[in-house]
Amino acid sequence: MADLDQDVTKNVNDNSEKDSNRISVKSFYPAIEEYIKKYYIEPIESFGNLSVPSLGSKAKSTTKRTLRKTRDVFSVKRADLREEKQEICSLEKEEAVIDAADECFDEDLLSRSLTDVMKEVDETFSERLIRLAAERNITNVEIYKRANIRRQLFSKIISNKDYQPKKETAIVLALALHLNLDETKDFLSRAGYALSRSSRRDLVIKFFIENGYYDVLDIDQALYDHGLEPLSTTEDKR
């Protein structure tokens, strides 16, 4: 019985020491606020939400014609930007293939083929999740517990290669995998998402990733303390 008491006391002391050595998430707050000030970009209001002040009928007609012309100009510019974006995405995809191919030859010439590399480039979100977990030797249980999501939801994601998660779910899974910023960007893009500088919430998340801090509950606390919606309150309930 005495030995058991000693073991319990030792465990308590060990846990207390771990807690005392653990970084408090609140110690990051001053740096987070400076980070937001430095990188935050005010979102541009949608042109469609532009309100027109009360004018006479003739002035209204002129204003409407001007707005229509301006809208047409914006439409053309948006189309041009869309084409440029598609070209850039295509180039980035080609570069990713080349980079992956270089890595293939550098690491083990015989272990992978160009077909394997192409498969990685075209991976869905679910497929990338499964591969990254295997490469890092992280179990399914570890992932969904770290991500603070339900086992049933995690099972749906890995069982359906075309599953489309909510942005918050994609982010907590990136955190659970301990991805760096570039890996996170690529991982989120598989689900059609990105971290935006026009979102204070995204900037807080980005700050923690850049600093290698991945505790979802602590990040949720930081978001809440900054008046932002925590990730775990918007879990995909499908």
pLDDT recorded at residue 122: 85
pLDDT recorded at residue 54: 46
Q: Sign of the CA dihedral 75, 80, 82, 83?
A: positive
Helices 216-225 and 167-176: crossing angle in degrees, nearest 10, is: 130
- How many residues comprise the chain? 238
54 by Cβ neighbours in 10 Å (0-12 / 13-18 / 19+) ranks as: exposed
pLDDT recorded at residue 125: 97
- Span 44-74, pLDDT tens digits: 755 455 444 444 455 555 555 666 666 665 5
* pLDDT average, residue stretch 215-220: 97
Which long-range contacts link 140-148 to residues 24+ away (Cβ below 8 Å)? 142/176, 143/173, 143/176, 143/177, 144/176, 146/175, 146/176, 146/214, 146/216, 147/172, 147/173, 147/175, 147/176, 147/216, 148/172, 148/216, 148/217, 148/220, 148/231, 148/232
**Lowest-confidence pick of 8-17, 31-40, 140-149:** 8-17
What are the backbone dihedrals phi and psi of residue 158, each rounded to the nearest 5 degrees, phi first? -80, -15
DSSP per residue over 178-234, as a string? T--HHHHHHHHHTTT----TT-HHHHHHHHHHHTT---HHHHHHHHHHTT---GGGG
Tokens linked to 115: 């077909």
